[in-house]
Chains A and B, each alone.
Chain A
């Protein structure tokens, strides 16, 4: 009796270490196995890629503003969450709802953080408009190009913030603090990549 033949393992699986295999499975679970969330009728509605992320951004802002004393004198980070959305939304697709939502989120930040009214609205709109202009050059490019473009968008946002603060108060804000918040906001590039992965090609009608 012949012994049952084993299926030959693929070259990629054979060469993988266990940790690499775990990472691959994790990547697959995150980005490949998941089907895009569908609204009613199999269409990705505005609530999926606009409303829910906006609500999550507001919620994250509220949570991170909690006055929690951390050990070693550290504080919770304070990234500007809507910047990630202002960059990701025009890449997913141009929308009339997105700037309105961004304007509302900017007003929320103005009120919540005690900034002059319109301060964060202008910054978010600048990022949104700039990304919309270069959209065709970014979509479909390598991940590193997206990350580079997001870095420039964050730089644009905080440069505008420094200029407007200087105009408003006559004092240049401390650049080390600006850099700290810029770094925290840049770390949201993960959110941008997840949003693009989930929603960029989910609606074939637009493409």
Chain B
């Protein structure tokens, strides 16, 4: 008896190709549901919550691989430093002489700036703590730009912390586990960073597209607000990033779109610094900060022109007549602009800490004038 003669279903062949296709279709349906249900684009902490355990394991394995490479690299650099120490020392001495002059200038400017801040009662941002970490794994593809760094919630990192290196802004923390954090690079397709042009203070949105040169979109202002080589900084709008972090320089791409040549492209993103900045809630005593008068209110007003005074008076008169007899005629004829503005808090000495603004008591007589100025302006 030949092999297979005792098998009654010998000629009934399983349509394996169709079976596999059905299985593939089922997996595709599950994957599509996962894809539609993923909230990665929302950039909230819950979206990355289920990835913490995986990131922890992946970083461990990558740390094992990167540690020997870094060891060899450090030894190589050590040998190079040994052989070029003399010439490097000569160059560094020249640089020190040059930088000392800048240091003195910087100290003077910083002191002057501090005095102005105190004098004008300006709102300044507090110092932000930071944590150093090493990048252990990276995905550099066009669809995802992420990094895993070897610092996590055990060192105080939290969702949303900005990440920088010695050149500029790298990204922000989007996933945290006790030992490892995932950093969303500014080049990722879901990254949006509010930025400003340092020269013109124009606002824009930096949109990542998976390449090394993110796009600048929604540039506010005229056609001259952006020039090639303009420095791009974080604007601090929205409270995601602190204001003034260096990002890159403006370039026009071959497609005519303004792009940012990132400072972080100038070297490898190996060691990074995570700033423990969360949002505006970190500002001290928010209720007092919000009572701080605007700089335009503190500065002396421009001298009113005759035409403006006439217009202001006529508008005020119209408002008064519309509101009835409650407002006296003195209010309409007076120059209410100077009366209504709050005075800056007097400062006795520059060394004094930033004075907390006191609630300015409303003057008795000009109360109506204040309302007149508001309606007139």
Point out the residue from B24, B73, B146, B189 that lies within 8 Å of A99, measured CB to CB. Answer: B24
Give the chain A neighbours of B270 by CB distance below 8 A.
67, 69
Q: Does chain B have a CB within 8 A of A62?
A: yes
Q: Does chain A have a CB within 8 A of B190?
A: yes
Report whether A118 and B69 are in contact in the complex, using a CB–CB cutoff of 8 Å: no
Give the chain A neighbours of B28 by CB distance below 8 A.
121-122, 125-126, 129
Report whether B137 and A67 are in contact in the complex, using a CB–CB cutoff of 8 Å: yes
Q: Does chain B have a CB within 8 A of A3?
A: no
Q: Which residue of A lies closest to B174 (CB)?
A: A114
Report whether B143 and A66 are in contact in the complex, using a CB–CB cutoff of 8 Å: no
Q: In the complex, how many residue pairs between chain A and chain B have their CB atoms under 8 Å apart?
A: 176
* Separation of A171 and B174 alpha carbons in the complex (Å): 19
- Beyond A66-B62, A116-B35, A116-B38, whether A121 also contacts B143 by CB under 8 A is no
Contact with A along B57-69 (1 / 0, CB 8 A): 0100110011001
Q: Which residue of A lies closest to B69 (CB)?
A: A68
Q: Does chain A have a CB within 8 A of B46?
A: no
Contact with B along A58-72 (1 / 0, CB 8 A): 000011011111000
* Separation of A72 and B361 alpha carbons in the complex (Å): 65
* Separation of A96 and B17 alpha carbons in the complex (Å): 9
Give the chain B neighbours of A114 by CB distance below 8 A.
40, 51, 139, 144, 146, 174-175, 182, 184
Report whether A165 and B189 are in contact in the complex, using a CB–CB cutoff of 8 Å: yes
Report whether B16 and A94 are in contact in the complex, using a CB–CB cutoff of 8 Å: yes
Contact segment of B152-160, B205-213, B314-322, B348-356: B205-213
Give the chain A neighbours of B190 by CB distance below 8 A.
168-169, 171
Report whether A94 and B144 are in contact in the complex, using a CB–CB cutoff of 8 Å: no
Cβ of A132 to closest chain B Cβ, rounded Å: 6
Q: Does chain A have a CB within 8 A of B138?
A: yes
* Separation of A53 and B62 alpha carbons in the complex (Å): 20
Give the chain B neighbours of A117 by CB distance below 8 A.
31, 34-35, 37-38
Q: Which residue of A lies closest to B37 (CB)?
A: A117
Q: By DSSP majority rule, is chain A's interface helix, strand, loop, or mixed?
A: helix
Contact with A along B34-60 (1 / 0, CB 8 A): 111110110000000001001100100
Q: Does chain B have a CB within 8 A of A54?
A: no
Report whether A65 and B31 are in contact in the complex, using a CB–CB cutoff of 8 Å: no
Q: Does chain A have a CB within 8 A of B161?
A: no
Give the chain A neighbours of B274 by CB distance below 8 A.
none
Contact with A along B187-215 (1 / 0, CB 8 A): 00110000000000000000111110100
Report whether A115 and B208 are in contact in the complex, using a CB–CB cutoff of 8 Å: no
Report whether A118 and B24 are in contact in the complex, using a CB–CB cutoff of 8 Å: no
Give the chain A neighbours of B213 by CB distance below 8 A.
174
Using C-beta atoms within 8 Å of the partner chain, give the interface range for chain A.
35 or more
Give the chain B neighbours of A99 by CB distance below 8 A.
20, 23-24, 27
Point out the residue from A68, A95, A169 that lies within 8 Å of B20, measured CB to CB. Answer: A95
Chain A residues 89 to 133 lying within 8 A of chain B, measured CB to CB, are 90, 94-96, 98-100, 102-103, 106, 111-119, 121-122, 125-126, 128-129, 132
Report whether A178 and B207 are in contact in the complex, using a CB–CB cutoff of 8 Å: no
Q: Does chain B have a CB within 8 A of A164?
A: yes
- Beyond A100-B23, A115-B143, A178-B142, whether A67 also contacts B31 by CB under 8 A is no
Q: Does chain B have a CB within 8 A of A202?
A: no
Q: Does chain B have a CB within 8 A of A140?
A: no
Q: Does chain B have a CB within 8 A of A151?
A: no
* Separation of A78 and B265 alpha carbons in the complex (Å): 18
- Beyond A119-B35, A125-B31, whether A67 also contacts B138 by CB under 8 A is yes
* Separation of A168 and B189 alpha carbons in the complex (Å): 9
Chain B residues 213 to 264 lying within 8 A of chain A, measured CB to CB, are 213
Report whether A177 and B62 are in contact in the complex, using a CB–CB cutoff of 8 Å: no
Give the chain B neighbours of A111 by CB distance below 8 A.
51, 54-55, 58
Point out the residue from A106, A135, A173 that lies within 8 Å of B210, measured CB to CB. Answer: A173
Point out the residue from A103, A118, A135, A181 that lies within 8 Å of B141, measured CB to CB. Answer: A181
Cβ of B260 to closest chain A Cβ, rounded Å: 13
Q: Does chain B have a CB within 8 A of A161?
A: yes
Report whether A94 and B31 are in contact in the complex, using a CB–CB cutoff of 8 Å: no
Report whether A174 and B62 are in contact in the complex, using a CB–CB cutoff of 8 Å: no
Q: Does chain A have a CB within 8 A of B19?
A: yes
Report whether B140 and A115 are in contact in the complex, using a CB–CB cutoff of 8 Å: no
Give the chain A neighbours of B144 by CB distance below 8 A.
113-115
* Separation of A181 and B138 alpha carbons in the complex (Å): 14
Q: Does chain A have a CB within 8 A of B21?
A: yes
Please list the residues of chain A having a beta carbon within 8 angstroms of any beta carbon in chain B.
62-63, 65-69, 73, 75, 78, 80, 90, 94-96, 98-100, 102-103, 106, 111-119, 121-122, 125-126, 128-129, 132, 135, 161-162, 164-165, 168-169, 171-174, 176-178, 180-181
Known: A112-B139, A118-B33. 7 other contacts (CB 8 A): A65-B139, A67-B137, A75-B138, A102-B27, A116-B35, A125-B27, A171-B207
Please list the residues of chain B having a beta carbon within 8 angstroms of any beta carbon in chain A.
16-17, 19-21, 23-25, 27-28, 30-38, 40-41, 51, 54-55, 58, 61-62, 65-66, 69, 73, 135-144, 146-147, 174-175, 182, 184, 189-190, 207-211, 213, 265, 267-270
**What are 19 of the A-B contact pairs (CB < 8 Å)?**
A62-B62, A65-B62, A66-B66, A67-B135, A67-B138, A67-B268, A69-B267, A96-B16, A96-B23, A102-B27, A115-B143, A118-B32, A119-B35, A125-B31, A128-B24, A129-B25, A169-B190, A173-B143, A173-B209
Instruction: Report, nearest first, the 5 A-B pairs whose CB atoms are least far apart.
Output: A174-B211, A69-B268, A118-B35, A118-B34, A177-B142
